[in-house]
């Protein structure tokens, strides 16, 4: 009778005798919670843009986006969706790297690249969302939201 040996993983979810926070468990819980919240955010985004907006997809233009991003509720909705999507995706990539990259130096470089990419995308996306000008100067008035004419 032969015995089957279990593989020796470089980063087990919980080493024997280890104390302190279990970061792998926290990452696992985050993926489930952020996935549920993302489903609500994404379907809310799609429902507003495609169903509740008169004209549906044909009404989406610069003026529509400008008007939507002028409302703090939708601005924060979109930023939360952006943050969660990037963190959810980068946590998934981190899990894949930990599972399949066995050389410590290559793993460190890959995890560092994922972290840098996530940070850059979150910073740029947030900056763009909060500095977006729905009424740019010298723009064609027919393309702008209706409230720009009042300014």
Write down the pLDDT at residue 91.
Answer: 96
State how far the Cα of 78 lies from the Cα of 86, in Å rounded to an integer: 12
Write down the pLDDT at residue 57.
Answer: 86
**Is the predicted pLDDT of residue 19 greater than 90, yes or no?**
no
* Residue 25 DSSP symbol: H
Model confidence pLDDT, tens digit, residues 80-130: 999 999 999 999 999 999 999 999 999 999 999 999 999 999 999 999 999
What average pLDDT does the segment 15-33 reach?
84
Write down the pLDDT at residue 116.
Answer: 98
Q: What is the pTM of this model?
A: 0.79
């Amino acid at each position: 009778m032969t015995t089957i040996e279990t593989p020796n993983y470089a980063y087990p979810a919980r080493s024997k005798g280890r104390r302190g926070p279990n970061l792998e468990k926290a990452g696992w819980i985050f993926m489930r919670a952020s996935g549920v919240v993302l489903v609500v955010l994404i379907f809310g985004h799609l429902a507003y843009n495609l169903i509740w907006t008169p004209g549906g997809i044909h009404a989406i233009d610069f003026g529509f986006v400008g008007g939507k991003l002028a409302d703090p509720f939708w601005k924060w909705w979109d930023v939360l969706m952006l943050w969660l999507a990037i963190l959810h995706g980068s946590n998934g990539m981190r899990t894949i790297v930990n599972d399949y990259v066995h050389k410590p130096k290559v793993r460190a470089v890959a995890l560092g690249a994922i972290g840098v990419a996530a940070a850059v995308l979150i910073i740029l996306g947030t900056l763009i969302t909060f500095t977006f000008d729905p009424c740019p100067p010298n723009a064609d008035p027919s393309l702008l939201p209706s409230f720009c004419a009042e300014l």
